[in-house]
Amino acid sequence: MEAVMACWEIEQSLQSLTGVSPGQGTGATMSDDQLDSDASLFDGQDSMGFGPLVPTESERSLMERVRQELKHDLKQGYKDKIVDIREEILRKRRAGKLPGDTTSVLKAWWQSHAKWPYPTEEDKARLVEETGLQLKQLNNWFINQRKRNWHTNPSSSTVLRTKRKRSNAGDRVM
């Protein structure tokens, strides 16, 4: 009977903390009908028939400690989830936008290598170190930059046309 009452009190504490009534959550809970049927087995007496069940001071203290630990764990669990969600929202807001100082470093490299904007592995390692970007981000920036700007640059267009003509001329020779 004490275990049933302790479970019922924990269930009530969880309900007051979470706002979820019994049966709404994903876990199993004891219904009031179950509690009533268990309580009627003893009619408010312990298993030996000696009067009402009253928790001792140490039992009350233990139940309070368990209640406080559960409350703390629930708050901590929700706090962690809220922090995770907040970080995800901020990440999504930032997506696609690199800091200005980062893009200025990349654009400076781009300008100095406008004729052939394909960084070597050493260039990439240095740029990753300078910008703090991940290698994948750096590679994506160069891919996007070449798509957007390389063919609009007249000097790079002539280089590209010349390379195409050479390769096409080589293909025609048999």
Would you kindly state where each structural domain of the chain is located, as residue ranges?
2-94, 100-172
Q: How far apart are CA 126 and CA 107, in angstroms?
A: 14
Q: What CATH number was assigned to the domain covering residues 100-172?
A: 1.10.10.60
The string over 129-161, giving b where at least 16 C-beta atoms fall within 10 Å of a residue's C-beta and e elsewhere, is eebebeeeebeebbeebeeeebeebeebeeeee
Q: Which long-range CB contacts under 8 A does 112-118 form with residues at least 24 apart?
A: 114/153, 114/155, 114/156, 115/155, 115/156, 115/159, 116/156, 116/159, 117/142, 117/145, 117/146, 117/150, 117/156, 118/142
Q: What is the DSSP letter of 20?
A: P
Element (H, E) at 83: helix 57-94
pLDDT at 174: 44
pLDDT at 80: 79
Global confidence as pTM: 0.36
Q: What torsion do the CA atoms of 27, 32, 33, 39 make, to the nearest 10 degrees?
A: 110
| pLDDT tens, N- to C-terminus, the chain (174 residues) | 666 777 777 877 777 777 766 555 544 444 555 545 544 444 445 555 566 678 888 888 999 999 999 988 888 878 778 888 888 777 766 666 788 888 899 999 999 998 899 999 999 999 999 999 999 999 999 999 999 887 755 554 445 555 555 555 555 554
Question: Which has the closest alpha carbon to 156: 166, 165, 169, 146?
Answer: 146
- Give me the residue label for tokens 């406008």: 114
pLDDT at 90: 74
